[in-house]
Structure 1
Amino acid sequence: MLKEFKAFILKGNVIDLSTGVIIGAAFTGIVTAFTKGIVEPILALPGGGSSPKLTIPIKETMVEVAKLGADGKPVMENGKAVMEMVPKIIELDLGLIIGAVISFLITAAVVFFVIVKPINKLMALTKKKEAEAPPPAPAADIVLLTEIRDLLKK
Structure 2
Amino acid sequence: MIQEFKQFIARGNVIDLAVGIIIGAAFTAIVSSLVEDMINPILGLLTGGIDFTNKYFVLSGTVADGASLEAARNSGAAVFAYGSFLMAVLNFLIVAWAVFLLVKAVNRVQSAAFRKEEAKEEEPAGPTQEELLAQIRDLLATRPGV
The normalised TM-score by structure 1 is: 0.43
- Could you say which structure has the greater relative contact order, defined with CA pairs below 8 angstroms and 6 or more residues apart? 1
Structure that is richer in helix per residue: 2
Q: Give me the TM-score of the superposition, normalised by structure 2.
A: 0.45
